[in-house]
């Protein structure tokens, strides 16, 4: 007897495409590997694109699920409701925007106010950050002009219009790492999950090329303490550049997109998020403070 082929879609069976902010490619690859290893009849094809592009696909009904750090705005929500779709937003993690510099650059401790002044157009030179720096003109590089990394920075500082002329964009997070590796004067902005798991071959490769910057708190910029984009400092909000990560689903039934979202928000999926250097949204994380004698 020929095995019966299922053509109907369920939370653990079927074929779908999802659109994912390119910042979360490593995370999504890890989640999909485990999900599809568990559910052999599930086939989820991810499209990795800038933040603006994935929202467009979602509104055009080209994909049913997106993974992003930006909620839909009121107009986008109203547009979908006008077409009888009710988008369901699930917070799955807290993420951090990481700042990276060239291996030869000794300035890996930067004050929050200095970062603010960079994007306000007030600090175009490394010597304004550190008078003893051997570098001069600063170059800031983002993954993509339409990315959520750009959106995070502009929202954080209430910026409108163009960024300063020393800000550049490439095409994706991996290209930011390569740019910083080859330009000593550069500072790059990427999602922390690209550089947080030294056991992952890609993260390990990236970490060998660059250094990660630690920053002072937004609320104590002149203080003595600096914080890396580590899950502990994301959890207690001492690291100043954190953001939520969501899945947004427009399915009208409990399909494969719903099943994948449930997996990511569940125990196994949340443990993967923690492994990737992000803070799980639904899994309790115990922080242990060690006191030196």
- Looking at the structure, do residues 124 and 216 belong to the same domain, yes or no? yes
Residues 80 and 166 in one domain: no
Say if residue 223 is in the same domain as residue 112.
yes
Whether 247 is covered by a domain: the verdict is yes
Tokens of residue 177, six digits: 């790492």
Q: Are residues 171 and 44 in the same domain?
A: no
User: Domain check: are 115 and 228 in the same one?
Assistant: yes
Distance in angstroms (rounded) separating the CA atoms of residues 209 and 171 = 18
Choose one of 235, 251, 271: the last residue of a domain. Answer: 235
Question: Which residues are paired to 96 by β-bridges?
Answer: 242
Tokens 């979908």: give the residue: 80
114 and 222 share a domain? yes
In a domain, 292, yes or no: no
**Does residue 293 lie within any of the structural domains?**
no
Q: Tens of pLDDT along 253-278?
A: 999 999 999 999 999 999 999 988 89
Residue at 42 is within a domain: yes
pLDDT score of 198: 64
The pTM score is 0.89
Residue 66 host element (H or E): strand 65-68
pLDDT tens for each residue of 223-250: 999 999 998 899 999 999 999 999 999 9
Which candidate, 82, 44, 37, 38, places its Cα nearest to that of 65? 44
Task: Give the residue, 198 or 57, on which the prediction is more confident.
Answer: 57
Report d(CA 205, CA 221) in Å as an integer. 32
Residues 31, 76: one domain? yes
Same domain? 143 vs 175: yes
Which stretches of 159-200 are DSSP H helices?
173-182
Domain that holds residue 276: 14-94+243-280
CATH of the domain at 267: 3.40.190.10
More confident residue, 207 or 217: 217
Query: Residue 215: inside a domain, yes or no?
Result: yes
Same domain, 70 and 104: no
Do 175 and 229 sit in the same domain of this protein?
A: yes
Two structure tokens written together for 17: 């495409």
Is 184 found in the same domain as 276? no
Is 288 domain-assigned?
no
| Structural contact between residues 143 and 176, judged by C-beta atoms closer than 8 angstroms | yes
Q: Is the pLDDT of residue 1 over 60?
A: no
Residues 111 and 127 in one domain: yes
pLDDT at 195: 86
74-120 pLDDT, tens digit each: 999 999 999 999 999 999 999 999 999 999 999 999 999 999 999 99
């Amino acid at each position: 007897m020929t095995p019966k082929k299922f053509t109907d879609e369920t939370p653990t069976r079927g074929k779908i495409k999802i659109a994912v902010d390119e910042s979360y490619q490593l995370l999504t690859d890890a989640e999909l590997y485990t999900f599809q290893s568990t559910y052999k009849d599930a086939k989820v094809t991810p499209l990795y694109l800038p933040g603006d592009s994935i929202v467009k696909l979602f509104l055009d009904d080209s994909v049913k699920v997106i993974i992003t750090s930006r909620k839909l705005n009121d107009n986008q929500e109203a547009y979908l409701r006008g077409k009888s779709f009710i988008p369901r937003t699930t917070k799955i993690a807290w993420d951090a925007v990481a700042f990276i510099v060239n291996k030869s650059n000794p300035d890996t401790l930067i004050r929050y106010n200095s970062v603010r002044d960079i994007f306000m157009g007030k600090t175009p030179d490394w010597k304004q950050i550190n008078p003893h720096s051997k570098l001069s003109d600063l170059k800031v590089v983002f993954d993509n002009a339409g990315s959520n990394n750009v959106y995070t920075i502009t929202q954080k500082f209430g910026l409108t219009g163009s960024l300063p002329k020393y800000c550049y964009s490439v095409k994706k997070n991996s290209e930011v790492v390569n740019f910083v590796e080859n330009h000593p004067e550069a500072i790059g902005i990427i999602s922390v999950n690209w550089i947080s798991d030294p056991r992952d071959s890609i993260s390990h490769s990236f970490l060998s090329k660059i250094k990660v910057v630690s920053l002072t708190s937004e609320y104590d910029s002149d203080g003595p303490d600096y914080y890396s984009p580590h899950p502990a400092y994301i959890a207690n909000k001492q690291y100043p550049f954190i953001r939520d990560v969501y899945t947004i689903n427009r399915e009208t039934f409990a399909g494969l997109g719903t099943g994948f979202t449930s997996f990511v928000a569940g125990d196994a999926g949340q443990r993967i998020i923690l492994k990737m250097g992000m803070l799980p949204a639904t899994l309790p994380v115990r922080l242990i403070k060690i006191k030196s004698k």
